Amino acid sequence: MRTPTIQVRLHEPLWLRLLRRAAVVGGVLLLCAATFRIGQHYPLTATAEAPQPAPAAPVAEAAVPQNKPVAANAVSPATAPGPSLPTAPSADQATTPGLDAAAQETNRDGLELKGTRLSLDPANGEQLRYRLTLANTGRRFNGSLRFTFTGEREGKAEQWRYPANGAMPDPKLQVEVSRFLKTEGVIALPSGFVPRAATVDLLEPEGVRLSKQTRIGRPS
């Protein structure tokens, strides 16, 4: 026969149970704090990179037929545009008032008007004095001078040409320039005509070789 045992359970005091529970909770908190500190100093390794998407398959280009004749727009010789040819300035081209001495000069074959001076005669308001300086680096010039004036008379705009077509009243208007030439003269103006601007043309038998526009200066 077994000897009966008697177990006597003594109730633990309340303070002891509270102490044990506090010890367990404190241990858990210490373990969490230690894990956090370790994670700060020794971070986990980065996860494997996400797989990159596979490159799209190249799209096959449409086959371009080789040596395919290209149809061109046929242009008949009669209607084909030809190269534009420079035209000489018209002998009757009107002068634009308000231009300075260097404006709108047409230089052909090396001939230049280096200096142009036109002004009213201070002693006679119906006379105009001109002084021209010509330089030439091309073929010789052998021709004449012609002046086309624009101005006003009695409050109305008027244009006047000197000399008139076919007339040559002054032999100084006939000039020949090999390399350099200075020429000057006096032009009698129509009564009451006040010039404001002028176009100086150098004429050859073939036409105008040089044309330059200038203002009429003040009397000096």
Task: Give this prediction's pTM.
Answer: 0.51
| Residue 120 confidence (pLDDT) | 92
Q: Measured between alpha carbons, how far is 49 from 44 in angstroms, rounded to an integer?
A: 14
| Residue 81 confidence (pLDDT) | 46
| Residue 185 confidence (pLDDT) | 94
CA of residue 66 relative to chain centroid, distance: 41
| Residue 168 confidence (pLDDT) | 77
Residues of the chain with pLDDT under 50: 45-50, 58-105
| Residue 210 confidence (pLDDT) | 94
| Residue 56 confidence (pLDDT) | 54
| Residue 75 confidence (pLDDT) | 41
Q: Which residue matches tokens 């052998």?
A: 142
| Residue 165 confidence (pLDDT) | 78
In a 3-state reduction of DSSP, which class is residue 111? strand
Give phi and psi for 23, each to the nearest 5.
-65, -40
196-209: pLDDT as tens digits: 999 999 999 989 99
Question: Residue 189 in contact with residue 219, Cβ under 8 Å?
Answer: no
111-134: pLDDT as tens digits: 999 999 999 998 888 899 999 999
Domains in the chain: boundaries: 105-215
Q: Which fold has domain 105-215?
A: Immunoglobulin-like (2.60.40)
| Residue 2 confidence (pLDDT) | 63
Give phi and psi for 121, each to the nearest 5.
-70, 120
